[in-house]
Amino acid sequence: MAENSTKRHEHQPAGSGVTKIVDRACFASAAIAGTIILAVAATVTLSVLMRHIGIGGIRGDFELVEIGCGIAAFLFLPLCQRKGNHVMVDIFTAALRQRTRNILDRIWEVIFGVVWIIIAWQLADGLMDMLAYRDHSMLLRIPTWIIYAFAIFGLGLSGLVALVNTLEKLSVFASSPAKTESLK
């Protein structure tokens, strides 16, 4: 089942402009997340080297790691959703017919979308609290609302992606019989 879901976009009809925009947004989000992870890795490396040579590490490096990894995780979600690369446990469905598994995949795609939107909504409420309290990190004084904003964006885009994936599976966005190999 995991093999089928990772290649779900290989043999689908070419989509509308909406799917292309969603694809680009997913790649852009993941590119930003990857850049953040590289910056976090460079920060940790530099901080360790500075400690090793005796000049002390970067103040608040652990806060930068926590914040950077948290933001990156939420920004990677849309591409994972688009490609169907979430962790799947198919031990219970492996014996089912392919058609039944496809129906279950559609149902789970809708459930994912709804859950992503609900969590984003709750985080938006939390963001308002963080703005009102002017909450920030302990050492670097980085406002915590920034993390919430990235999380809301990542989850909102993941919800949209789940909707687009569902509509694609139902052929709502099918515009021609041409094949696409986007998101391989």
User: What are the helix and strand counts (H, E) for the chain?
Assistant: 5, 0
Q: Cβ(155)–Cβ(74) under 8 Å?
A: yes
Please determine, for residue 33, whether its predicted confidence score (pLDDT) is greater than 70: yes
**Cβ of 172: how many Cβ atoms within 10 Å?**
12
**Confidence band, pLDDT 50/70/90 cuts, at residue 181:** very low
Each residue of 45-77: pLDDT tens digit? 999 999 999 998 899 999 999 999 999 999 999
Kindly list the domain boundaries of the chain, sorted by start residue.
17-79+98-169
Q: Which residue has the higher pLDDT, 10 or 26?
A: 26
Dist. CA 39–CA 78, nearest whole Å: 21
**Looking at the whole model, is its pTM more than 0.95?**
no
Distances (CA, A) of 55 to 37, 38, 50, 99: 24, 23, 5, 63
Q: Cβ(63)–Cβ(24) under 8 Å?
A: no
Q: Which residue has the higher pLDDT, 102 or 10?
A: 102
